[in-house]
Amino acid sequence: MDKYVSIRLDRSLEKPLYVQVCESIIELIEKNILLPEEKLPPIRKLASLLDVNTVTIVNAYKLLEKQGYVVSRVGSGTYINPSILLNHQNLSKALSSQGVSLQKVSENPGVFNDSSPTPSNSALFDDISNVRSAIRYDFAGAAISPEFFPVEEFKEVLNEVLDRDRGYAFGYQESMGYAPLRKSISEFMASEYNITFSPEEIQVVSGAQQGIDIIAKAFLNYQDTVYVEGPTYTGAIDAFKSRGAKIVEIPLEPDGINIDELRSKLKVKPPRLFYTMPNFHNPTGYSYSTQKKKELIALSRECDFLIVEDDHMNDLYFAEKPSPLKAMDDGGNVLYIKSFSKLFMPGLRLAFIASRKDFAVKIADAKYYSDISSSGLTQRAMDLFFRKSLWPEHARRMRKIFREKWQAMNGAIEEYIPPGINYKSPGGGLFFWLELPQGYYSMNLYNEALKYGLLLMPGDFFYPDRRPSNGFRLSFAEIAPENIRDGIKLLAETIEKLFQEYKLNPLRGKNFRPLL
């Protein structure tokens, strides 16, 4: 217990005590005071030492486990994760980026070895390099590899804009966005998806996350209710919660939201907003049936709520071209967010919101006090990219590249993944969602797989309450095509191993919670 006496809690902070305890223990781990495989003290003992309720320690240990710092062993106790060196760096990153991207891909360590004046960025990149070399199969990263970015084409349009507009390329822009870009977008959406909205109905934003945040600002009052799918992209939940919203989760099924559950919740209290990814959903890859899309829109009119449609990936279809909800939105209840970052160049931060004109005015106000406007240079370059028809060309190329990976995933999963695992092959996007049998816990699979250098995203991170989940997400965004087959085979073996191990400690049953 001596190792824990240095922990100091500050009861005057807003930060809950269990989070403080959790962070203090992480600090001890990071300073190598606590070592891999070391057992954490019994809950009562630590509670007594720190003069807190036992529940505080229980919650702190739970949080540590969720973050991958500790593992619980049934009937034995809680231990520092033996694979912690790999583990905490990755998972804490994954946590913070919630599957949008693992940050390890973002900083390009290689760059600092060349002759450019950029300095070597020491600690951070050393860590990342360690992790990278240890991970052989990355099914967690959700960002498209930089090698696919149309850098040369974009450089050309950038320079063309600079030569054309000179200083004006760097002046303030209208809050709604650069007018010619809004026109280009409206033409693109009409020709590509048969949806017509005028430039005045379009708000340019800095990525889909900002789209969500700005909609939350424009439409949510304190304590309003927001419905979300379970599982969902929790970055959206953070934005809603930051507005003081109450989150209600509606279960998602392979063909869309559970309509009965939705109806029964609506009877209690309709939400202000319903947040959905109706096509190639993150994390499940599921798409709504046409029937469910229609029912959702009808319900939004009947019960007077707005639908936030997050179209994060519609351009990456491998079979049928998907139809956005917005295309069926005759009443104007859909606020449509389309990201160009995800399939294109995430660092550009570019997306738009399309909505009814009266909503667009509210949205522009919220954009104004959020950050005035998005970068004018980026908007001008993107506009030119559209005008030169480079976007559809890029999307076509991406579809070709990722269709091959998707086929490899389909084949390998069919061949190797053992019976008892549920999944549905997605029609597009970058994700497969697999479900362990009821009672199994994907965080255990995550921990086990990590030992062999395989990364996946446990389902926990996609639920509003971060509860233990039997589902997990496999992304084929970052893994090399030639590694897919071996990776899935290794995953299958790990699952079999998990089945064997947990046969001895049956955890099945409705009330299963991981033990501490």
> Is position 149 an interface residue for a copy of itself (rule: CB under 8 A)?
yes
> Is position 306 an interface residue for a copy of itself (rule: CB under 8 A)?
no
The only residue of 20, 89, 90, 103 in contact with a copy of itself, by rule CB under 8 A = 103
In whole angstroms, give the CA distance from residue 272 to residue 233: 18
Using omega within 30 degrees of 0 as the cis cutoff, is the peptide bond preceding 283 cis?
yes
> Is position 298 an interface residue for a copy of itself (rule: CB under 8 A)?
no
- Of residues 359 through 398, those in contact with a copy of itself by CB under 8 A are 365-366, 368-378, 383-384, 387-388
> Is position 478 an interface residue for a copy of itself (rule: CB under 8 A)?
no
CB of 502 to a copy of itself, least distance (A): 35
84 CB burial (10 A radius; 0-12, 13-18, 19+): buried
Q: Where does this chain touch a copy of itself (CB under 8 A) — which range of 61-69, 164-172, 426-434, 504-512?
A: 164-172
Q: Which two tokens stand for residue 57?
A: 């320690």
In whole angstroms, give the CA distance from residue 213 to residue 209: 6
Query: Could you tell me the CA-to-CA distances from 15 to 7, 10, 354 in Å, in that order?
Result: 15, 9, 37
Query: Could you tell me the CA-to-CA distances from 68 to 29, 375, 503 in Å, in that order?
Result: 12, 38, 23
Torsion-angle region of 396 (φ positive above 0: left; ψ -120 to 50: alpha; else: beta): alpha
Q: Where does this chain touch a copy of itself (CB under 8 A) — which range of 40-48, 69-77, 167-175, 392-400?
A: 167-175
Q: Where does this chain touch a copy of itself (CB under 8 A) — which range of 40-48, 305-313, 344-352, 424-432?
A: 344-352
Residue whose entry in the numeric block shows the structure tokens 């450019």: 116
Q: Which is closer to a copy of itself, CB of 163 or CB of 482?
A: 163
CB of 133 to a copy of itself, least distance (A): 19
CB of 295 to a copy of itself, least distance (A): 24
Residues whose CB falls within 8 Å of the CB of residue 190, separated by 6 or more in sequence, listed in order: 196
Number of residues this chain uses to bind a copy of itself (CB under 8 A): 81
Buried b (16+ CB within 10 A) or exposed e, 331-341: eebbbbbbbbb
The only residue of 29, 71, 105, 247 in contact with a copy of itself, by rule CB under 8 A = 105
> Is position 168 an interface residue for a copy of itself (rule: CB under 8 A)?
yes
Residues whose CB falls within 8 Å of the CB of residue 76, separated by 6 or more in sequence, listed in order: none
- Of residues 189 through 208, those in contact with a copy of itself by CB under 8 A are 205-207
- Of residues 42 through 101, those in contact with a copy of itself by CB under 8 A are 96-97, 100-101
CB of 354 to a copy of itself, least distance (A): 18
Q: 3-state class of 443 per DSSP?
A: helix
Q: Which is closer to a copy of itself, CB of 111 or CB of 480?
A: 111
Q: Which is closer to a copy of itself, CB of 100 or CB of 395?
A: 100
> Is position 116 an interface residue for a copy of itself (rule: CB under 8 A)?
yes
Contact 233, 282 (CB under 8 A): yes
> Is position 186 an interface residue for a copy of itself (rule: CB under 8 A)?
no
Q: Where does this chain touch a copy of itself (CB under 8 A) — which range of 72-80, 176-184, 316-324, 420-428?
A: 176-184
Sign of the CA dihedral with 311 first, then 315, 319, and 320 last: positive
Q: Which is closer to a copy of itself, CB of 135 or CB of 345?
A: 345
Q: Which is closer to a copy of itself, CB of 159 or CB of 505?
A: 159
What is the torsion angle, in degrees rounded to the nearest 10, for the CA atoms of residue 371, residue 373, residue 379 and residue 383? 140
